[in-house]
Amino acid sequence: MGTQKLYFFWIFCLIFICSVFVQSKQSNYTNNPVIFELIAKDMRRGSTQRLPFHHNVSLTVSLLVGTPRQPVTMVLDTGSELSWLHCKKSPDVNSLFDPVHSTSYNPVPCTSPVCSTRTRDLTIPVSCDPRKLCHAMVGYADMSTMEGTLAMDNFVMGGLSVPGVVFGCMDSGSSSSGDDSGTTGLLGMNRGSLSFVTQMNYPKFSYCISGQDSSGVLLFGDANVPWLKELSYTPLVQMSSPYPLPYFDRVAYSLHFEGIKVGTKLLNLPQSILQPDHTGAGQTMVDSGTQFTFLLGPAYTALKNEFLAQTKGTLRDLGEPNFVFQGAMDLCFRIPLSQTSYPPLPTVTLLFQGAEMSVSTERLLYRVPGEVRGPDGVHCFTFGNSELLGAEAYIIGHHHQQNMWMEFDLQNSRVGLAEVRCDLASKKLVLGL
């Protein structure tokens, strides 16, 4: 939900707990892990590949799509429903999905029931392109958009081929920074009817993001590993209103936000500002497609002031009131380029119903690429003001999910959290421990 483009990204190690029977797009899975290669790629400005996206770092997975199989790289996004791929307009364009050369590719006509599925990712009423195909368009907070048509094709994951997965075949779009070519697409993982995890009929999935070596694992099904300590579960918010609310996303992973601690001090925040109001504004969403965490104005201001108070004399203020990183992060500091580690900082703990997420040390500050002030680099507080983005929600980004085992239990409508060394978890899962 930020405003800057991708400079580099991580490619995840995927582990699918599979052995599948597919019938009418319903699947049953048993423990049979399939392990994908772990890769890290540099996506700095000037690279030939870019994501039409607004995150400095994105979590990506590698799949195969079509017949014959074409490799694709997709952003893992728990904040989106519709998966989509960049589709070729011309045979001269490389590294994008080419539907013309897939014999299993089927565009979705406007008359298909799929085209009338209720989702925020499709225009309402349904629109058709000149070929009478179902038009699809998605938009993001940085004003970038992608357009194309709905389609179905085989998605292949480590030898498992699943036919008829619905996705957007996007062939046009716009971006706030002008970088539209790029990695192949996005994997929508929320609870909507067209999301990838819903179409695959998985009861749960988990991921673990390392803060050490840009590695991670994504796992579908039950973990069932002895070294994973007991998870703390927090229930998903269920709105009682039967009517759509203008600011509430019913298919997001929305949590009960109960408070914030800085060090040992609990901020004096009224519960009314931490919970959705009658319009749905103020929900708290877990979003792997956003890098940092953004809080509504009153909560952000209270956190900012307390963090400043507890780091006075420890951190040197940037001293530039008009400097705002990613359009929403205005608390920044000067730290000597020669300094290899941060001084002791107070832990920021986000409190949810039945669970908590602690953010400490290197996850509290982020060095802004390319910003240097004499002998110092610019480092910004990794919480921002969501109201500066025009978002009426609390958004928990993946930077603060590092070294947390994150389980999304769709069957029981809850999210499980446990602190884990994710670099070690990745190695253990690869070795089958």
The number of residues making up the chain comes to 433
Q: Tell me how far CA of residue 255 lies from CA of 99, 250, 347, 415, in angstroms.
A: 39, 11, 21, 8
Catalytic residue, from 77, 142, 153, 423: name it.
Answer: 77
Kindly compute the dihedral angle of the four CA atoms of residues 368, 183, 252, 220, in this order, to the nearest 10 degrees: -110
Beta carbons of 10 and 57 less than 8 angstroms apart: yes
Those residues with Cβ within 8 angstroms of residue 268's Cβ, 6 or more apart along the chain or in another chain = 302
Measured distance CA(401)–CA(293) in Å, rounded: 10
Q: How far apart are CA 171 and CA 149, in angstroms?
A: 8
- 287 classed as catalytic: yes
Q: For the CA atoms of the chain, what is the radius of gyration? A: 21
CA geometry: angle at 227 spanning 221 and 231, to 5°?
60
Amino acid at 262: V
Q: Angle at CA 389, nearest 5°, toward 345 and 305?
A: 30
Q: Is 179 part of the annotated catalytic residue set?
A: no
H or E element: which one contains 428? helix 422-430
∠ CA 235-200-427, rounded to 5°: 75
Enumerate residues 6+ apart whose C-beta is below 8 A from 289.
53, 55, 58, 75, 76, 77, 78, 79, 80, 186, 398
- Residue among 153, 179, 287, 409 flagged as catalytic: 287
Task: Show which residues are catalytic.
Answer: 77, 287
